Protein backbone atom coordinates (compact mmCIF):
# COMPACT_ATOMS: atom_id res chain seq x y z
CA UNK A 1 0.00 0.00 0.00
CA UNK A 2 1.40 3.40 -1.00
CA UNK A 3 1.03 6.16 1.59
CA UNK A 4 1.19 9.81 0.56
CA UNK A 5 2.65 10.86 3.92
CA UNK A 6 5.05 8.34 5.44
CA UNK A 7 8.20 8.13 7.54
CA UNK A 8 10.79 5.47 6.76
CA UNK A 9 12.73 3.99 9.69
CA UNK A 10 16.07 2.35 8.85
CA UNK A 11 17.01 -0.36 11.35
CA UNK A 12 20.54 -0.58 12.74
CA UNK A 13 19.71 -3.25 15.32
CA UNK A 14 18.24 -1.23 18.18
CA UNK A 15 15.92 -3.02 20.59
CA UNK A 16 13.59 -0.01 20.30
CA UNK A 17 13.42 0.32 16.50
CA UNK A 18 9.83 -0.93 16.50
CA UNK A 19 8.97 1.69 19.11
CA UNK A 20 10.06 4.45 16.72
CA UNK A 21 7.58 3.26 14.10
CA UNK A 22 4.85 2.91 16.71
CA UNK A 23 5.39 6.41 18.11
CA UNK A 24 5.17 7.91 14.62
CA UNK A 25 1.96 5.99 13.95
CA UNK A 26 0.54 7.28 17.22
CA UNK A 27 0.89 10.71 15.63
CA UNK A 28 -1.41 9.39 12.86
CA UNK A 29 1.39 9.24 10.28
CA UNK A 30 2.30 5.97 8.59
CA UNK A 31 5.76 4.61 9.39
CA UNK A 32 7.55 1.53 8.11
CA UNK A 33 10.79 -0.22 9.09
CA UNK A 34 13.37 -1.39 6.56
CA UNK A 35 16.92 -2.72 7.01
CA UNK A 36 19.72 -0.17 6.94
CA UNK A 37 21.09 -1.92 3.85
CA UNK A 38 18.07 -1.02 1.72
CA UNK A 39 19.33 0.43 -1.59
CA UNK A 40 18.69 4.12 -2.36
CA UNK A 41 16.42 3.28 -5.31
CA UNK A 42 14.07 1.38 -2.98
CA UNK A 43 14.01 4.36 -0.64
CA UNK A 44 13.09 6.58 -3.57
CA UNK A 45 10.27 4.24 -4.61
CA UNK A 46 8.91 4.33 -1.04
CA UNK A 47 8.71 8.15 -1.38
CA UNK A 48 9.08 8.94 2.33
CA UNK A 49 8.49 12.43 3.65
CA UNK A 50 11.23 11.77 6.19
CA UNK A 51 13.81 9.16 7.21
CA UNK A 52 14.77 8.12 10.75
CA UNK A 53 18.00 6.23 11.42
CA UNK A 54 17.54 4.01 14.48
CA UNK A 55 19.98 3.34 17.28
CA UNK A 56 22.08 0.20 17.41
CA UNK A 57 24.58 -1.73 19.53
CA UNK A 58 27.63 -1.17 17.31
CA UNK A 59 30.27 1.57 17.26
CA UNK A 60 30.67 3.43 13.98
CA UNK A 61 34.42 2.69 13.88
CA UNK A 62 34.04 -1.08 14.45
CA UNK A 63 35.04 -3.31 11.51
CA UNK A 64 31.87 -4.26 9.67
CA UNK A 65 29.72 -1.76 11.59
CA UNK A 66 26.32 -1.31 9.90
CA UNK A 67 26.16 1.77 7.73
CA UNK A 68 23.94 3.43 5.15
CA UNK A 69 24.45 4.79 1.67
CA UNK A 70 25.51 8.46 1.89
CA UNK A 71 23.12 9.05 -1.03
CA UNK A 72 20.23 9.34 1.43
CA UNK A 73 21.65 12.70 2.55
CA UNK A 74 21.24 13.98 -1.01
CA UNK A 75 17.60 12.95 -1.47
CA UNK A 76 16.35 16.32 -0.17
CA UNK A 77 14.34 14.36 2.41
CA UNK A 78 14.70 15.26 6.10
CA UNK A 79 16.79 12.75 8.07
CA UNK A 80 16.79 12.26 11.84
CA UNK A 81 19.48 10.10 13.43
CA UNK A 82 18.81 8.62 16.86
CA UNK A 83 21.78 7.59 19.06
CA UNK A 84 23.86 5.36 16.74
CA UNK A 85 21.99 6.96 13.83
CA UNK A 86 23.21 10.39 14.92
CA UNK A 87 26.77 9.17 15.38
CA UNK A 88 26.68 7.58 11.93
CA UNK A 89 25.58 10.86 10.35
CA UNK A 90 28.49 12.61 12.06
CA UNK A 91 30.93 9.86 11.05
CA UNK A 92 29.86 9.79 7.38
CA UNK A 93 29.79 13.57 6.96
CA UNK A 94 33.22 14.37 8.41
CA UNK A 95 32.72 14.59 12.17
CA UNK A 96 34.57 12.60 14.83
CA UNK A 97 33.05 9.92 17.07
CA UNK A 98 35.04 8.44 19.94
CA UNK A 99 34.61 6.33 23.03
CA UNK A 100 33.00 8.42 25.70
CA UNK A 101 35.03 8.97 28.90
CA UNK A 102 31.92 7.88 30.75
CA UNK A 103 29.20 5.69 29.31
CA UNK A 104 25.67 7.05 29.53
CA UNK A 105 22.89 4.51 30.12
CA UNK A 106 19.57 5.48 31.63
CA UNK A 107 18.15 8.88 32.62
CA UNK A 108 20.00 12.09 31.86
CA UNK A 109 19.27 15.80 32.01
CA UNK A 110 19.09 17.47 28.60
CA UNK A 111 19.60 21.23 28.34
CA UNK A 112 18.06 22.80 25.22
CA UNK A 113 20.19 25.43 23.48
CA UNK A 114 17.85 26.17 20.56
CA UNK A 115 14.05 26.05 20.56
CA UNK A 116 13.73 25.91 16.79
CA UNK A 117 13.02 22.85 14.67
CA UNK A 118 13.23 19.70 16.85
CA UNK A 119 12.64 21.58 20.10
CA UNK A 120 10.06 24.08 18.90
CA UNK A 121 7.47 24.89 21.53
CA UNK A 122 9.69 23.89 24.45
CA UNK A 123 11.08 26.30 27.04
CA UNK A 124 14.59 27.59 26.22
CA UNK A 125 17.51 26.85 28.56
CA UNK A 126 15.40 24.45 30.55
CA UNK A 127 16.52 20.89 31.31
CA UNK A 128 14.38 17.86 30.51
CA UNK A 129 14.67 14.23 31.54
CA UNK A 130 15.66 12.00 28.62
CA UNK A 131 16.82 8.42 28.18
CA UNK A 132 20.36 7.70 27.01
CA UNK A 133 21.96 4.43 25.93
CA UNK A 134 25.43 4.87 24.47
CA UNK A 135 29.11 4.27 25.09
CA UNK A 136 30.35 6.59 22.32
CA UNK A 137 29.81 10.28 21.74
CA UNK A 138 30.48 12.92 19.09
CA UNK A 139 33.67 14.82 19.83
CA UNK A 140 33.70 17.04 16.72
CA UNK A 141 30.59 18.01 14.74
CA UNK A 142 30.67 17.51 10.97
CA UNK A 143 31.16 20.65 8.84
CA UNK A 144 27.99 22.72 8.59
CA UNK A 145 26.37 21.33 11.76
CA UNK A 146 25.47 23.19 14.96
CA UNK A 147 24.53 21.87 18.39
CA UNK A 148 20.93 22.12 19.60
CA UNK A 149 21.18 20.54 23.08
CA UNK A 150 23.69 19.17 25.53
CA UNK A 151 23.88 16.89 28.56
CA UNK A 152 26.51 16.53 31.25
CA UNK A 153 28.21 13.72 29.34
CA UNK A 154 27.29 14.69 25.76
CA UNK A 155 28.30 18.18 24.59
CA UNK A 156 26.48 17.47 21.32
CA UNK A 157 23.30 15.75 22.52
CA UNK A 158 21.37 17.11 19.53
CA UNK A 159 22.50 18.67 16.25
CA UNK A 160 21.31 19.92 12.90
CA UNK A 161 22.83 21.05 9.61
CA UNK A 162 22.66 24.80 9.02
CA UNK A 163 21.24 24.44 5.50
CA UNK A 164 20.17 20.83 4.89
CA UNK A 165 17.33 19.07 6.74
CA UNK A 166 19.69 16.74 8.62
CA UNK A 167 19.20 16.24 12.36
CA UNK A 168 20.47 14.03 15.15
CA UNK A 169 19.69 13.34 18.81
CA UNK A 170 21.87 11.34 21.18
CA UNK A 171 18.91 10.36 23.38
CA UNK A 172 15.95 8.08 22.56
CA UNK A 173 12.75 10.08 21.95
CA UNK A 174 10.80 6.86 21.28
CA UNK A 175 10.97 5.51 24.86
CA UNK A 176 8.48 6.54 27.54
CA UNK A 177 11.30 7.65 29.89
CA UNK A 178 12.08 10.63 27.63
CA UNK A 179 9.57 13.23 28.79
CA UNK A 180 9.78 15.33 25.60
CA UNK A 181 10.00 12.38 23.20
CA UNK A 182 6.56 12.87 21.66
CA UNK A 183 7.20 16.59 21.14
CA UNK A 184 10.56 15.94 19.42
CA UNK A 185 9.12 13.31 17.08
CA UNK A 186 6.04 15.45 16.37
CA UNK A 187 8.25 18.40 15.46
CA UNK A 188 10.26 16.23 13.08
CA UNK A 189 7.21 14.59 11.50
CA UNK A 190 4.98 17.66 11.16
CA UNK A 191 7.12 20.81 11.32
CA UNK A 192 10.19 19.50 9.47
CA UNK A 193 8.79 16.78 7.18
CA UNK A 194 5.43 18.46 6.56
CA UNK A 195 3.34 15.32 7.10
CA UNK A 196 -0.39 15.40 7.72
CA UNK A 197 -2.07 13.17 10.38
CA UNK A 198 -4.06 11.09 7.88
CA UNK A 199 -3.13 7.59 9.10
CA UNK A 200 -6.39 6.51 10.74
CA UNK A 201 -8.03 3.11 10.84
CA UNK A 202 -11.09 4.51 9.11
CA UNK A 203 -8.92 5.65 6.19
CA UNK A 204 -7.08 2.32 6.29
CA UNK A 205 -10.34 0.37 5.90
CA UNK A 206 -11.30 2.43 2.86
CA UNK A 207 -7.87 2.00 1.27
CA UNK A 208 -7.65 -1.73 2.04
CA UNK A 209 -11.09 -2.47 0.59
CA UNK A 210 -10.31 -0.43 -2.52
CA UNK A 211 -6.96 -2.18 -3.06
CA UNK A 212 -8.48 -5.65 -2.63
CA UNK A 213 -11.14 -4.82 -5.23
CA UNK A 214 -8.46 -3.62 -7.64
CA UNK A 215 -6.23 -6.63 -6.93
CA UNK A 216 -8.78 -9.43 -7.37
CA UNK A 217 -10.24 -9.82 -10.89
CA UNK A 218 -14.07 -10.10 -11.01
CA UNK A 219 -13.97 -13.77 -11.99
CA UNK A 220 -11.61 -14.86 -9.18
CA UNK A 221 -12.47 -16.27 -5.78
CA UNK A 222 -10.53 -15.91 -2.53
CA UNK A 223 -10.15 -18.37 0.31
CA UNK A 224 -9.40 -16.98 3.75
CA UNK A 225 -7.39 -18.73 6.43
CA UNK A 226 -9.89 -18.29 9.26
CA UNK A 227 -8.99 -19.13 12.87
CA UNK A 228 -11.60 -17.17 14.79
CA UNK A 229 -9.02 -14.77 16.22
CA UNK A 230 -9.21 -11.04 15.64
CA UNK A 231 -6.56 -10.99 12.89
CA UNK A 232 -8.17 -13.53 10.58
CA UNK A 233 -11.69 -12.34 11.43
CA UNK A 234 -10.89 -8.73 10.51
CA UNK A 235 -9.11 -9.96 7.37
CA UNK A 236 -12.18 -11.96 6.34
CA UNK A 237 -14.54 -9.03 6.94
CA UNK A 238 -12.35 -6.64 4.91
CA UNK A 239 -12.13 -9.06 1.99
CA UNK A 240 -15.88 -9.81 2.23
CA UNK A 241 -16.62 -6.08 2.16
CA UNK A 242 -14.49 -5.80 -0.99
CA UNK A 243 -15.69 -8.81 -3.03
CA UNK A 244 -18.75 -10.21 -1.20
CA UNK A 245 -19.52 -13.90 -1.53
CA UNK A 246 -16.54 -14.51 -3.79
CA UNK A 247 -14.74 -14.88 -0.46
CA UNK A 248 -14.84 -18.41 0.97
CA UNK A 249 -13.60 -18.42 4.59
CA UNK A 250 -12.08 -21.79 5.42
CA UNK A 251 -11.73 -22.97 8.99
CA UNK A 252 -9.31 -25.87 9.34
CA UNK A 253 -9.34 -28.07 12.40
CA UNK A 254 -5.64 -28.83 12.63
CA UNK A 255 -5.96 -31.06 15.68
CA UNK A 256 -4.04 -28.68 17.95
CA UNK A 257 -6.86 -26.27 18.81
CA UNK A 258 -8.15 -25.41 22.25
CA UNK A 259 -11.08 -27.10 23.98
CA UNK A 260 -14.39 -26.61 22.10
CA UNK A 261 -12.74 -24.13 19.74
CA UNK A 262 -14.15 -25.44 16.41
CA UNK A 263 -17.75 -25.21 17.64
CA UNK A 264 -17.27 -21.74 19.14
CA UNK A 265 -15.59 -20.32 16.02
CA UNK A 266 -18.26 -21.62 13.65
CA UNK A 267 -21.02 -20.14 15.82
CA UNK A 268 -19.23 -16.76 15.96
CA UNK A 269 -18.64 -16.58 12.20
CA UNK A 270 -22.27 -17.42 11.49
CA UNK A 271 -23.34 -14.51 13.72
CA UNK A 272 -21.08 -12.19 11.67
CA UNK A 273 -22.72 -13.24 8.41
CA UNK A 274 -19.77 -15.27 7.13
CA UNK A 275 -20.49 -18.64 5.55
CA UNK A 276 -17.57 -20.77 6.64
CA UNK A 277 -16.25 -23.85 4.90
CA UNK A 278 -15.20 -26.28 7.66
CA UNK A 279 -12.41 -28.82 7.10
CA UNK A 280 -11.41 -31.42 9.67
CA UNK A 281 -7.78 -32.21 8.84
CA UNK A 282 -6.76 -33.06 12.41
CA UNK A 283 -5.60 -36.58 11.60
CA UNK A 284 -3.34 -35.37 8.78
CA UNK A 285 -1.70 -32.71 10.96
CA UNK A 286 -1.16 -34.99 13.95
CA UNK A 287 0.27 -37.76 11.79
CA UNK A 288 2.84 -35.38 10.31
CA UNK A 289 3.73 -34.03 13.75
CA UNK A 290 4.31 -37.52 15.13
CA UNK A 291 7.83 -37.82 16.53
CA UNK A 292 8.70 -34.16 15.80
CA UNK A 293 10.23 -32.24 18.71
CA UNK A 294 11.99 -29.26 17.09
CA UNK A 295 9.73 -26.16 17.36
CA UNK A 296 10.81 -24.69 14.03
CA UNK A 297 10.08 -28.00 12.33
CA UNK A 298 6.64 -28.03 13.94
CA UNK A 299 5.96 -24.56 12.54
CA UNK A 300 7.14 -25.54 9.07
CA UNK A 301 5.05 -28.70 9.04
CA UNK A 302 1.94 -26.85 10.16
CA UNK A 303 2.54 -24.01 7.70
CA UNK A 304 3.05 -26.32 4.75
CA UNK A 305 0.11 -28.52 5.68
CA UNK A 306 -2.15 -25.48 6.05
CA UNK A 307 -1.32 -24.33 2.53
CA UNK A 308 -1.72 -27.86 1.20
CA UNK A 309 -5.20 -28.08 2.71
CA UNK A 310 -6.19 -24.67 1.38
CA UNK A 311 -4.98 -25.52 -2.11
CA UNK A 312 -6.95 -28.77 -2.07
CA UNK A 313 -10.12 -27.02 -0.93
CA UNK A 314 -9.58 -24.25 -3.47
CA UNK A 315 -9.45 -26.82 -6.28
CA UNK A 316 -12.70 -28.36 -5.05
CA UNK A 317 -14.39 -24.95 -4.89
CA UNK A 318 -13.07 -23.82 -8.28
CA UNK A 319 -12.08 -20.38 -9.55
CA UNK A 320 -9.88 -19.72 -6.50
CA UNK A 321 -6.65 -17.84 -7.18
CA UNK A 322 -6.05 -16.11 -3.84
CA UNK A 323 -5.40 -16.86 -0.18
CA UNK A 324 -6.17 -14.16 2.44
CA UNK A 325 -4.19 -14.27 5.69
CA UNK A 326 -4.19 -12.24 8.90
CA UNK A 327 -0.43 -11.60 8.90
CA UNK A 328 0.56 -8.65 11.13
CA UNK A 329 3.60 -6.38 11.07
CA UNK A 330 5.27 -8.00 14.13
CA UNK A 331 5.01 -11.35 12.29
CA UNK A 332 6.89 -9.84 9.36
CA UNK A 333 9.53 -8.14 11.53
CA UNK A 334 10.24 -11.28 13.59
CA UNK A 335 10.33 -13.59 10.57
CA UNK A 336 12.64 -11.50 8.37
CA UNK A 337 16.21 -10.92 9.47
CA UNK A 338 16.99 -7.23 9.16
CA UNK A 339 20.68 -6.72 8.85
CA UNK A 340 20.22 -3.89 11.19
CA UNK A 341 21.36 -6.33 12.64
CA UNK A 342 18.11 -7.57 14.19
CA UNK A 343 18.00 -11.37 14.24
CA UNK A 344 15.23 -13.68 13.12
CA UNK A 345 13.50 -14.66 16.37
CA UNK A 346 11.18 -17.35 15.05
CA UNK A 347 9.44 -18.40 11.87
CA UNK A 348 5.75 -17.59 11.84
CA UNK A 349 3.66 -20.26 10.16
CA UNK A 350 2.06 -17.70 7.84
CA UNK A 351 5.25 -15.81 6.92
CA UNK A 352 8.56 -17.67 6.97
CA UNK A 353 6.86 -21.06 7.06
CA UNK A 354 5.23 -20.77 3.65
CA UNK A 355 6.39 -23.16 0.91
CA UNK A 356 8.66 -21.58 -1.69
CA UNK A 357 6.24 -22.62 -4.43
CA UNK A 358 2.62 -21.93 -3.57
CA UNK A 359 -0.23 -22.12 -6.07
CA UNK A 360 -2.29 -19.33 -4.46
CA UNK A 361 -1.50 -15.62 -4.49
CA UNK A 362 -1.49 -13.91 -1.10
CA UNK A 363 -3.74 -11.14 0.19
CA UNK A 364 -2.50 -9.78 3.52
CA UNK A 365 -4.43 -6.56 4.24
CA UNK A 366 -3.14 -6.32 7.83
CA UNK A 367 0.53 -6.87 6.99
CA UNK A 368 1.40 -3.26 7.85
CA UNK A 369 -0.43 -3.14 11.19
CA UNK A 370 0.35 -3.70 14.85
CA UNK A 371 -2.15 -5.58 17.01
CA UNK A 372 -3.63 -2.51 18.69
CA UNK A 373 -4.31 -1.01 15.25
CA UNK A 374 -6.18 -4.17 14.27
CA UNK A 375 -8.29 -3.81 17.40
CA UNK A 376 -9.13 -0.27 16.30
CA UNK A 377 -10.30 -1.64 12.94
CA UNK A 378 -12.38 -4.29 14.70
CA UNK A 379 -14.14 -1.58 16.70
CA UNK A 380 -14.70 0.43 13.52
CA UNK A 381 -16.29 -2.67 11.96
CA UNK A 382 -18.56 -3.05 14.97
CA UNK A 383 -17.24 -6.40 16.19
CA UNK A 384 -18.30 -7.56 19.68
CA UNK A 385 -15.98 -7.22 22.67
CA UNK A 386 -15.26 -10.95 22.82
CA UNK A 387 -13.74 -10.72 19.33
CA UNK A 388 -12.01 -7.34 19.71
CA UNK A 389 -10.27 -8.38 22.93
CA UNK A 390 -9.86 -12.09 22.25
CA UNK A 391 -6.34 -12.97 23.27
CA UNK A 392 -3.87 -13.88 20.50
CA UNK A 393 -3.51 -17.58 19.76
CA UNK A 394 -0.54 -18.81 17.70
CA UNK A 395 -1.15 -20.30 14.28
CA UNK A 396 0.68 -23.52 15.22
CA UNK A 397 -1.75 -23.74 18.15
CA UNK A 398 -1.09 -26.03 21.08
CA UNK A 399 1.71 -27.72 19.12
CA UNK A 400 4.15 -25.04 20.31
CA UNK A 401 2.72 -25.03 23.83
CA UNK A 402 3.56 -28.71 24.16
CA UNK A 403 7.31 -28.85 24.51
CA UNK A 404 8.54 -31.91 22.71
CA UNK A 405 6.42 -34.39 20.78
CA UNK A 406 2.72 -33.70 20.25
CA UNK A 407 0.58 -36.71 21.24
CA UNK A 408 -3.14 -37.23 21.84
CA UNK A 409 -2.53 -37.69 25.57
CA UNK A 410 -0.45 -34.52 25.88
CA UNK A 411 -3.07 -32.60 23.89
CA UNK A 412 -5.80 -33.79 26.26
CA UNK A 413 -3.82 -32.67 29.30
CA UNK A 414 -2.98 -29.25 27.87
CA UNK A 415 -6.51 -28.58 26.57
CA UNK A 416 -8.02 -29.21 29.98
CA UNK A 417 -5.38 -27.15 31.80
CA UNK A 418 -5.62 -24.27 29.32
CA UNK A 419 -9.42 -24.22 29.60
CA UNK A 420 -9.11 -23.82 33.37
CA UNK A 421 -6.68 -20.90 32.96
CA UNK A 422 -9.11 -19.16 30.59
CA UNK A 423 -12.15 -19.82 32.82
CA UNK A 424 -10.45 -18.44 35.90
CA UNK A 425 -9.07 -15.39 34.09
CA UNK A 426 -12.55 -14.58 32.75
CA UNK A 427 -14.25 -15.19 36.08
CA UNK A 428 -11.78 -12.96 37.93
CA UNK A 429 -11.96 -10.14 35.36
CA UNK A 430 -8.26 -10.43 34.52
CA UNK A 431 -8.73 -11.90 31.03
CA UNK A 432 -9.34 -8.52 29.34
CA UNK A 433 -6.64 -6.78 31.38
CA UNK A 434 -3.72 -8.78 29.97
CA UNK A 435 -2.27 -9.52 26.55
CA UNK A 436 -2.15 -13.31 26.83
CA UNK A 437 -2.74 -15.95 29.47
CA UNK A 438 -2.30 -19.64 28.75
CA UNK A 439 -0.91 -22.98 29.87
CA UNK A 440 2.21 -24.79 28.63
CA UNK A 441 2.88 -28.50 28.99
CA UNK A 442 6.46 -29.06 30.12
CA UNK A 443 7.88 -32.47 29.07
CA UNK A 444 9.17 -33.11 32.57
CA UNK A 445 7.64 -35.37 35.20
CA UNK A 446 8.02 -34.69 38.91
CA UNK A 447 7.29 -36.59 42.09
CA UNK A 448 4.13 -35.68 43.96
CA UNK A 449 1.83 -37.03 46.65
CA UNK A 450 -1.92 -37.37 46.13
CA UNK A 451 -3.70 -38.88 49.08
CA UNK A 452 -1.54 -41.75 50.27
CA UNK A 453 -0.03 -42.39 46.86
CA UNK A 454 3.20 -41.28 45.24
CA UNK A 455 2.71 -39.74 41.79
CA UNK A 456 5.07 -39.08 38.91
CA UNK A 457 3.32 -36.75 36.48
CA UNK A 458 3.65 -33.72 34.19
CA UNK A 459 4.30 -30.07 35.01
CA UNK A 460 2.04 -27.29 33.68
CA UNK A 461 3.52 -23.81 33.35
CA UNK A 462 1.13 -20.85 33.40
CA UNK A 463 2.16 -17.87 31.27
CA UNK A 464 0.50 -14.45 31.62
CA UNK A 465 1.95 -11.29 30.04
CA UNK A 466 1.06 -7.68 29.40
CA UNK A 467 2.04 -6.01 26.13
CA UNK A 468 0.90 -3.53 23.49
CA UNK A 469 1.96 -5.29 20.32
CA UNK A 470 3.92 -8.45 21.30
CA UNK A 471 7.24 -6.81 20.40
CA UNK A 472 8.02 -6.53 24.11
CA UNK A 473 6.14 -8.02 27.08
CA UNK A 474 6.28 -8.21 30.85
CA UNK A 475 4.92 -10.93 33.12
CA UNK A 476 1.72 -10.03 34.98
CA UNK A 477 1.67 -9.84 38.77
CA UNK A 478 -1.52 -11.85 39.20
CA UNK A 479 -3.07 -12.00 42.69
CA UNK A 480 -1.87 -14.96 44.74
CA UNK A 481 -5.41 -16.19 45.38
CA UNK A 482 -6.08 -16.33 41.61
CA UNK A 483 -2.86 -18.24 41.01
CA UNK A 484 -3.80 -20.59 43.85
CA UNK A 485 -7.23 -21.30 42.30
CA UNK A 486 -5.69 -21.98 38.89
CA UNK A 487 -3.08 -24.30 40.38
CA UNK A 488 -5.53 -26.19 42.60
CA UNK A 489 -8.02 -26.72 39.81
CA UNK A 490 -5.43 -27.96 37.30
CA UNK A 491 -3.88 -30.40 39.77
CA UNK A 492 -7.26 -31.68 40.99
CA UNK A 493 -9.14 -31.76 37.69
CA UNK A 494 -6.54 -32.64 35.05
CA UNK A 495 -5.40 -36.23 35.21
CA UNK A 496 -1.66 -36.50 34.57
CA UNK A 497 -0.55 -33.25 36.27
CA UNK A 498 0.81 -32.89 39.79
CA UNK A 499 2.66 -29.58 39.65
CA UNK A 500 1.93 -26.04 38.36
CA UNK A 501 4.56 -23.29 37.99
CA UNK A 502 4.23 -19.61 37.01
CA UNK A 503 6.50 -18.10 34.35
CA UNK A 504 7.95 -14.75 35.50
CA UNK A 505 10.12 -14.07 32.43
CA UNK A 506 9.80 -10.90 30.34
CA UNK A 507 10.36 -10.38 26.59
CA UNK A 508 13.19 -9.79 26.02
CA UNK A 509 15.11 -11.88 26.97
CA UNK A 510 12.42 -14.59 26.76
CA UNK A 511 9.70 -14.76 24.11
CA UNK A 512 5.99 -14.85 24.91
CA UNK A 513 5.53 -18.41 23.66
CA UNK A 514 7.83 -21.10 24.99
CA UNK A 515 8.58 -22.42 21.50
Active-site positions read 83, 172, 174
CA distances from 115 to 124, 164, 173, 201, 512 (A): 6, 18, 16, 33, 42
Q: How many residues does this entry show for the chain?
A: 515
DSSP type of residue 71:
G
User: What is d(CA 20, CA 9) in angstroms, rounded to the nearest whole number?
Assistant: 8
E-state strands within 284-433: 320-324, 361-363
* Residue pair 234/378 in contact by the 8 Å Cβ criterion: yes
The answer for residues whose C-beta is within 8 angstroms of residue 352's C-beta and 6 or more apart is 335, 336, 344
Beta strands across the sheet bearing 221-226 = 277-280, 247-253, 221-226, 320-324, 361-363
Tally of CA atoms within 13 A in the half-sphere of 190 that contains its CB = 17
Q: Residue 453: helix, strand or coil by DSSP?
A: strand
484 Cβ partners below 8 Å, 6+ apart?
none
Buried b (16+ CB within 10 A) or exposed e, 41-80: eebeeeebbbbbbbbbebbbeeeebbebbeebbeeebbbb
Q: Are strands 6-11 and 30-35 parallel, antiparallel or unpaired?
A: parallel
**To 10 degrees, what angle do helices 408-428 and 480-493 make?**
150
Listed residue (173, 172, 145) closest to 159, CA to CA: 145
Amino acid sequence: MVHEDSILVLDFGSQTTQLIARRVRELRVYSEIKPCTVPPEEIRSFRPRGIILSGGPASVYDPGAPTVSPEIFELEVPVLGICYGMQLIAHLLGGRVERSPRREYGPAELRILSTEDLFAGLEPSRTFRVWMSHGDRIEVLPPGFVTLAESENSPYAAMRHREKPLFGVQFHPEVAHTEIGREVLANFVFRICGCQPTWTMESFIESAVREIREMVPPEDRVVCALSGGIDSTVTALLVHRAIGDRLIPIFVNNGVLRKNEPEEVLELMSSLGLRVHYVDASERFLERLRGVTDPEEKRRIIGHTFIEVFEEEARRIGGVRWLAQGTLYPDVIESVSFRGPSATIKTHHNVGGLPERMNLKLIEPLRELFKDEVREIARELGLPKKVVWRQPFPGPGLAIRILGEVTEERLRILREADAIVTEEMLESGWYYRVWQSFAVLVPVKTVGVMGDYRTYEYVIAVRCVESQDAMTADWVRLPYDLLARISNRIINEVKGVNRVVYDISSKPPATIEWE
